[in-house]
Structure 1
Amino acid sequence: MTATPRIKICGLKETATIEAMDGLPFHEIGFVFAPSKRQVSAETAASLIRAVKRIQAADGTAPQTVGVFVNPSVEVLAAIVEQAPLDIVQLHGQETPDFCRLAKNNLQTKVWKVLSIGQDGVSAIERISAYSGAVDAILIDTAGGGTGQTFDWQVIAQYQEAAAAIHVPLYVAGGLNPDNVGDLLADNQVDGIDVSSGVETDGCKDIEKIRLFVRKVIER
C-alpha cells in the first residue's frame, strides 16, 4: 500500500462544522477569500481559525489553515493574513513565479500554487519547473476551480513527477467526493487531495460526508 495522502477540506464557513471535525485525521482546512458562494471575510476567517486551533486532526495536532485567493495583490494578502493568521496562502489565479516568490518573502506563510488542467498544451514539467523555489506545494484542479468536475486523471503521474523534481508535494483537486476518491487513489500516487463541493449537501458542508470522505482515503 502506498502512503496515505494528506487531506485538505476546503470552503469551510461554519464554526459548528469545524468543531464537529475534531478528531478526524485530516491535515489542512481551507477558507475561500476569492469571490465565491463559499467566500468569507477576514473577520469571519479569524473567528474560524480560532476554532480550528482548538481541535485536533492528524497526528493529534491542529490542522493547518489555508486561504484561497485569485489574483490578489501582495498588499491584500498581507492585510488579510494580519487579521486572519493563515498558515498557507493558496493562489488560484494567473500568479507568476515572481509573484509567488514575492508573497513568500513578504508573508509569514507558506505559498501553494494551483495549476488548472486542460487550459493549454504546456507540459507538466515546463509549468511546474518555473515555480521551483517560489512555492511550497503545487495543486492541480479542473479549469475554473470549484466546478465539482474532474479532469483527465491520466496526467497526474506527469505532474507528480514534475512536482517531485522541484521537491514540493502535489495535491489533486477537482470533483473529488466519497464515491470516487478511492478510484483516484487506486490508480495514482499523490501527496495530497483537496475536496470542497464533494462533501456538501445543498451547498453546505455535510459533516457525515466529510467523515465518509476521510474514511475512504484512510481505509482504501
Structure 2
Amino acid sequence: MFPRILPLAILALTALPAAFADEAPDRLEFTPAEIADWPQREFDGAVTYRLAEDDRPAVEAVAEDGATALYHEIEIDVSETPWLEWSWRVDELPQGEASEREKAGDDYGARIYVVQEGFFGKLSARALNYVWSRELAPGTQWPNAFTGRAHMISVERGDERRGEWVTYRRDLREDWQAAFGEAPGTIHGIAIMTDSDNTDSRSVARYGRIRLLPDE
C-alpha cells in the first residue's frame, strides 16, 4: 500500500507540472470533458475515469480497491469567486466496518477538494474536502484520519439519494474559516476523487460541471 504520510487530498498536488502553476483562469467553470482531461495521480490502485454521456455529460469514476485523483492546479482568489458549485451522483458507496474517521475507513464514493499551498509550498499544503459519506450526517466536519492539514465536510450520507444527481453550492470563505481558523485567501488547486483502497471494496460515481462563482 502507498505510505500515507500525507493524505491523498494533499499528495495529489505535490507532483504537478510546473506549467500549471502560472495558469490564470479565463473562466472559473470546468465541464466534464475538461475535468476528464485533468492529470491523474495514482496512490494505491487505479481508478477508472472516463467521459460518459448516457443521460448527461459526466466524468464516471469506478474504484475497485483503488485510489486515484484527477487534479488541476490553478490559482483562485477566493475573495473574487468564493462559491464552489458542483454536481455529482454516487451509484455505489465503498463498504467497510471501520469509521471514516479512522485510516481503515478513509474512503468516499465521491469527493471534491480544494488545496492551498503553505509557507513551505506543497509540502505544507492544506486541503478542504467535501465528501459523500457512508455514515456521517451532512454538516459533520472532522480532521482527516491521516493528518490535521486536511479537513473533511460531509455534504451527503448513505443510500438515501444514491443514484440521484445532486447539486451543491458551498461558501469557501465560511468553510475554510471553520476548518482552519482563518480566511482562505488564494487556493492553488482543485480535484475530484473516488476511492476504495482502505476498505478493499468498490465505489462508483459520476461528476458533472464544477464552477467557482462570485457573490450575487
TM-score between the two structures when normalised by the length of structure 2:
0.28
Greater helix fraction, Structure 1 or Structure 2 = 1
Indicate the structure whose relative CO is greater, using CA pairs within 8 Å and at least 6 residues apart. 2
TM-score between the two structures when normalised by the length of structure 1:
0.28
